[in-house]
Structure 1
Amino acid sequence: MPDLGTYLDKRNFDDTPEPSETGTASALGLRYSIQNHRATRLHWDLRLEWNGVLLSWAITRGPSFNPSEKRLAVRTEDHPVSYLGFEGLIPKGNYGAGTVMLWDIGWWQPLDPIPRDLKKGHLHFRLHGRRMTGDWNLILMKGRKLGDDKRQNWLLIKSDDDAAGRPDPVRRYKRSVSTGRSFAEIAKEAAPINPQRAGKLPGHVAPELATLTDDLADPGTHWHELKLDGYRALIALGKGGPLAFTRNGHDWSDRFASLLPGFADLDCDSALIDGEIVAGAGLQGFSALQDAIKVGGPFGYVAFDLLSLNGQDLRKQPLTTRRKRLESLFRTVPRMGALDLSPVIEGDPKDAFAMVCATHGEGLIAKRRDSPYRGRRGTDWLKIKCRKRAEFVVVGWMKSDAAGRPFASLAMAAREAGNLRYVGKVGTGFDEDTMTELAGLLRPLTRRSAPVAAPKSEVSGVNWVSPELVAEVEYAELTAQGRLRHATYLGLREDKPAREVRIEREVSMNDHETVAGISVSSPDRIIFDKPRLTKADLARYYEKIAPAMLSEAADRPLSLLRLPEGMEGERFFQKHPGKGFPKALKIVEITEKDGDSEPYAYVTDASGLVGAVQMGTVEFHIWGARRDRLDRPDRLVFDLDPDEGLGFAKVKAAAIDLRETLGDLGLESWAMLSGGKGIHLVVPLRRTIGWDTAKLFCRGIATLMTQREPKRFTASMSKSRREGRIFIDWLRNERGSTAIAPFSIRARPGAPVAMPIGWDELPGIRKASAFSVEESLDRRWNGVTRPKPQTISRPVIEELDQAMKRSA
């Protein structure tokens, strides 16, 4: 129970209208209010909800938006949560006698842990009120501690942010934020003042919808805005308003009732505003918004267009004109508040997009500057997503084998060419409460027949439901078969009917750059953030490095590590090229162990390397044989892979020792930094032995090194045996295995390159990822001597066998 003893002891509730009940704590977020109190001395009482009570301070001169002004705030007794909205006259003879005006109300957001801040005497927080917004500090003055019985003097100081520097709120706001009454009217118990706008209330219009595209737009013709994670909402102001319309025209004013009073601060007779309702008070994401809807807040509204103002239809005006009118309408609204304007990103949006994606944002919306407002989907507005998200219709569910789980996954569909098409299942993103809620909604929708056509092998065991529920889903991609990959449930979309859910296809912006004769689409897509490397940068690098790289990589079957969305997106190895690969990436048919023939990619020139980049390739991994003699390896690779925590100096020493061991057998090698943690030793071969012999020989070398120094090396992949050791990976020397190609960029932070190095410079290298893209182009094969192809003859194998026996 909250401790309100001091508050209760000071008051006679038979004679004061102040609340005696505790009140209900907020279900989501923390509330706050400020009461202007005309008592013995005029002051402002700040109330911050915490642990079931209102922490309270009396601000003697009221708050100031000037960061250089420090306002005395005297800590008073904790108040009940029910006091948040109190307004009225406290009769003479009672504690705090005088008139209390509700001066501001909203939500507050601690920016640091509250217990720690209270203990050290410095509260750092953000206010999301009608009048008070932005970041603030409450600082306990020296000489006072929280346990003192003497009164505590604190200082209230505004942080220097976008909300700072506004006119003095004490002079500006003289009436109640909730009832519109003055002190005199409150004392007389006058009725609340509810001024009505004179203008005609606008009706719903069809909103402008953005088309999904694959890249950012031209900043000369478009500006960009943040893509928001909420519900699209048209706010109608006028006589009888405000009203909140969904994109489909449903009146959801009751659901967002706590948000709508804030629109009273806009100076107009009527208006129709386009924007997005999001979770407020610092809460983020669509799930948080759904939670807020259940409990009545907190909400925020981000406005980005103005369709009409004071009876004038603005939809035929260009976007630039509508934006100026919108900014003028919002000029009296506090910055960083519950109502805000969507920020416009002028100029090159690449850095902004990278930052949005790095912070797990939705993406950007590009808007053509000169476009009118069209009530349909078109290309004047474009959406560029960091990750793929879309709405799908729930058509069934799979039973769970786990006790207590109502279902294992949901079956999804969407419309394409007028028909409902199955797109796969979603089995993650559900907590216990969500699953219980969904199960209750699905139960009355049960049906026997499938509402969608789908292969029996994919939908065996699905319990079908009528296609009425719409879910928002995040996913990696739609496969060539039209199935969701790595899908996660985010929440239900009640603002969009199932019949309107369509499969979105990206529209190309036709942005491309020709490199080595290959048209590289989305050339400005950021693949690496630090250093900043785009898709075009990778293509140009592989074009320039091709002569050096192809001397080892040409005519070998490849495995490609693809990152179509860059480092933050999904990554996958691909052995067999599919449809859509450029012809410059050539194909060789290889018979697998099971006798079936499968296509493998190989390259012969720079166009092939760039063609792979066009398909999202970052890393190239090569076979140990060339396509004209796949049964005869022409190189051996020993990969020195250190256990976590082993320093690179130990890896270098291991490479030198392994080189000497090979040299004792008459085999010369060259070294390559892997670009990750280890070093590769490469032995060029004449094509005189098969894979079995090569694999057996390499296993023997690894075993010999392990026998000699078992505490230093291991030839086993077992994690338990690798602790504190270096694994000599000999398994790269079998048919179908691959190793990273020299000069390949690695898909690791910093974009390191797999770099060949000379033995004489190895001692001076500090790490396996020492070389950048630029350094690679400067070095190429300079300083590296590659031995001529050698033969693993019977005497060599016999010498290895003798060495192993001696070591054993």
Structure 2
Amino acid sequence: MASEATTLEVPGPHGVREMRVSSPSRVVWPEAGVTKLELAEYLVAVAPAFLAHNGDRPISLQRFGGDVTGEWFFSKNPPKGAPEWIRTVDVTYPSGRTHPQLVADEAAALVWMAQMNTVVFHPWPSTAADTDHPDELRIDLDPQPGTDFADTVAVAHGMREVLAEAGLTAAVKTSGSRGLHLAAPIRPDHDFIEVRHGVIAAARELERRRPDAVTTSWWKEERGERIFLDYNQAARDRTTAGAYSPRALPGATVSTPVSWDELDTIDPGAFTIRTVPQRLAEIGDPWADLHDAPGSMATLLEWWERDVADGLGDLVYPPDYPKMPGEPRRVAPSRARKEE
């Protein structure tokens, strides 16, 4: 018996492509009842906005063997059988190795990625034309146990003010869960290390102002009931879910750009694969002008140098990174005390 399959006719810059979707009725989000076909149709519906923010960038695919409750893996290199019209670009990873990575240029590429069981799309903060120099400064606001979405919103407003003082204009989107992501367009004049330093400088500035609400501690034992400003999401090859990317969470939620005016009243759980296309059709993309006026990293890097002069050096990198110059020991404080 032939396997269940359907074909989507997907328009794009090179005409209509007929894209096969196998097992279209397979449920990807069991709690919400969202199927693989609905995922593909969602990606076609939001493709213009999705590609505006995630296209023309190296992109990592979070792929699932079954539904979102099961096992998954990151796919970075082009898998065998990729259509010849899907672009790749060479990127350098923290290890120093260089490999090709996928780039999405049209809606049909997104459908093919969904056919490959991709659920979450993770774009780099740099473009395919210059992968080593980010053109977005991204800050991940990660609520810790004992905090709620309202706490995250308050911290987002505070970070917006800090970045504005540094000459940068921040936009905000939901993470798809209880967190928020901020993005500020920057001129691609600095490498990942310098951009990460700028993020640390901004995070420390907000931490000084709101020590009760914000932490930059990498170690969970020190975070308390505060919002963790995850500075390591600015490191090379570390990414967050892209704008309009679905999330592998029970409600089939979507990481959704919002305006600052609506941030205080939104319910992040209301932005789903089934609701976001209509939202886009009705109000448009709040991030449509995100890259119209990229800013300078100069002030944030001045703050970084000021903090270094005051004895505040670098912070630890993720555990999968090689040891970085100037990095402190990757040892949890409680373990360090025991060793002493």
Q: In the superposition, relative to structure 1, how do residues 799 and 703 fare at CA in structure 2: closer, same or farther (>3 Å)?
A: closer
**Alpha-carbon separation, structure 1, partners of 2:28 and 2:153:** 31
How far 1:531 sits from its partner (Å)? 2.5
Residues 205-220 of structure 1 aligned to structure 2 (within 5 Å) = none
2:290 paired with 1:790: no
Q: 1:570 aligns with which of 48, 64, 71?
A: 71
Tell me which residue corresponds to 1:90. Answer: none
Corresponding residue number in structure 2 for 1:695: 196
Residues 759, 700 of structure 1: CA spacing in aligned structure 2 closer, same or farther, 3 A cutoff?
same
Q: What is the rounded CA distance, in whole Å, between the counterparts of 1:552 and 1:645 in structure 2? A: 32
CA contact (8 A) 2:195 2:234 kept: yes
SS of corresponding position for 1:774:
coil
Contact 1:588 1:627 in 2 (8 A): yes
**Which residue is equivalent to 1:329?**
none
Look up the SS of the partner of 1:693 in the other structure.
helix
Matches within 5 A, 1:218-229: none
> Of the candidates 560, 576, 587, which is equivalent to residue 88 of structure 2?
587
Counterpart CA distance in 2 for 1:695 and 1:795 is 14
Q: Deviations over 1:163-207 (max 9, x none)?
A: xxxxxxxxxxxxxxxxxxxxxxxxxxxxxxxxxxxxxxxxxxxxx
C-alpha displacement at 1:803, in angstroms? 8.5
Is the Cα–Cα contact under 8 Å of residues 515 and 543 in structure 1 kept in the other structure?
Answer: no
Report the structure, 1 or 2, having the larger helix content.
2
Which residue does the alignment assign to 1:643? Answer: 144
Residues 297-316 of structure 1: CA distance to partner in whole angstroms, max 9, x if unpaired?
xxxxxxxxxxxxxxxxxxxx
For 1:778, the equivalent position in structure 2 comes to 278
**C-alpha distance 770-645 of structure 1, shift in aligned 2 (>3 A):** farther
Give SS of 2:204's match: helix
Alignment match, 1:555: 56
Q: Distance in 2 between matches of 1:702 and 1:712?
A: 12
Name the counterpart of 2:119: 618
Higher strand share: 1
1:413-428 equivalent positions in 2, closer than 5 A: none
Change (3 A) 1:542 1:737: same
Secondary structure in 1 matching 2:60: strand
Contact 2:215 2:223 in 1 (8 A): yes
The correspondence of residues 387-402 of structure 1 with structure 2, limited to 5 A, is none
Distance between the aligned counterparts of 1:622 and 1:612, measured in 2? Answer: 13
Q: Distance in 1 between matches of 2:308 and 2:103?
A: 38
Describe the shift of the 1:595–1:650 C-alpha distance in structure 2 as closer, same or farther (beyond 3 A): closer
Q: Which moved more, 1:698-707 or 1:775-784?
A: 775-784
Q: 1:763 to 1:568 in 2, by over 3 A?
A: closer
Aligned amino acid, residue 782 of structure 1: G
Aligned partners of 2:50, 2:32: CA distance in 1, in Å? 22
**Larger relative contact order (C-alpha < 8 A, sep ≥ 6)?**
2
Report if aligned partners of 2:139, 2:229 keep a CA contact under 8 Å in 1: yes
TM-score (norm 1): 0.35
CA distance in 2, matches of 1:596, 1:794: 30
Say whether the 8 Å CA contact 2:198–2:297 is kept in structure 1. Answer: no
* Contact kept? 1:665, 1:800, Cα under 8 Å: no
Match of residue 509 from structure 1: 3
Partner of 1:740: 241
Identity %: 33
Q: Which amino acid letter does the alignment assign opposite residue 733 of structure 1?
A: A
Q: Distance in 2 between matches of 1:805 and 1:759?
A: 35
Aligned residue number for residue 334 of structure 2: none
Matches for 1:131-170 after TM superposition, within 5 Å: none
**Structure 2 counterpart of 1:677, one-letter code:** R
Distance 1:793 1:678 in 2: 25
CA distance 1:549–1:716, shift in 2 (3 Å): same
The change in CA–CA distance for 1:783 and 1:736 in structure 2 (over 3 A counts) is closer
In structure 1, C-alpha distance between the alignment counterparts of 2:101 and 2:174, rounded to whole Å: 26
Distance 1:585 1:526, change over 3 A: farther
| 8 Å Cα contact 1:585/1:601 also seen in 2 | yes
Please state how far the C-alpha of 1:514 moved relative to its aligned partner: 2.6
| Inter-CA distance 515–800: structure 2 relative to 1 (3 Å threshold) | same
| 8 Å contact from structure 1 (residues 636, 694) kept in 2 | yes
The superposition leaves residues 452-493 of structure 1 with CA deviations (integer Å, 9 ceiling, x where unpaired) of xxxxxxxxxxxxxxxxxxxxxxxxxxxxxxxxxxxxxxxxxx
What displacement does 1:804 show?
9.3
Q: TM-score, normalised by structure 2?
A: 0.81
Deviations 1:530-581 (A, max 9, x none): 3321111111110111101100101111111112322243222222232133
User: For the structure 1 residues 582 and 521, does the alpha-carbon distance in structure 2 shift closer, same or farther, using more than 3 Å as the test?
Assistant: farther
**2: distance between equivalents of 1:537 and 1:734?**
33
2:175–2:255: 8 Å Cα contact kept in structure 1? yes
Residue 521 of structure 1: which of 8, 18, 22 is its match? Answer: 22
Q: Secondary structure at the match of 1:519?
A: strand
Change (3 A) 1:526 1:660: same
Q: Give the residue type in structure 1 aligned to 2:48.
A: P
Give the distance between the partners of 2:304 and 2:236, measured in 1 at CA.
Answer: 22
1:671-711 Cα deviation digits (max 9, x unpaired): 00010120011001121222221111111111222233323
Q: Contact 1:559/1:622 (CA < 8 Å) preserved in 2?
A: yes
For 2:308 and 2:182, the matched residues in 1 are separated by 20
Instruction: Give 1:647's aligned amino acid.
Output: D
Asked if 1:654 corresponds to 2:166, the answer is no
Tell me, in whole angstroms, the C-alpha distance in 2 between the residues paired with 1:657 and 1:579.
46
Unaligned runs of 5+ in 1: 1-378, 380-507
Q: In the aligned structure 2, how far is the partner of 1:747 from the partner of 1:793?
A: 33
**Is the Cα contact below 8 Å between 1:670 and 1:758 reproduced in 2?**
yes
CA distance in 2, matches of 1:793, 1:635: 11
2:223 pairs with 1:729: no
Aligned-residue RMSD, C-alpha:
2.3
Q: Is the contact between residue 665 and residue 799 of structure 1 (CA under 8 Å) also seen in structure 2?
A: no
Partner of 2:184: 683
Which moves more between the two structures, 541-550 or 558-567?
Answer: 558-567
Letter of the structure 1 residue corresponding to residue 262 of structure 2:
E
Contact 2:91 2:99 in 1 (8 A): yes
Relative to structure 1, is the Cα distance of residues 584 and 620 closer, same or farther in structure 2, using a 3 angstrom cutoff?
A: farther
Offset, 1:607 = 0.8
Query: Residues 8-23 of structure 1: matches in 2 within 5 Å?
Result: none
For 2:6, the aligned partner's letter is: H
Q: Identify the range of structure 1 (541-550 vs 527-536) with the bigger mean alpha-carbon deviation.
A: 527-536
Secondary structure of 2:275's aligned partner? helix
Structure 2 unmatched runs, 5+: 11-17, 313-340
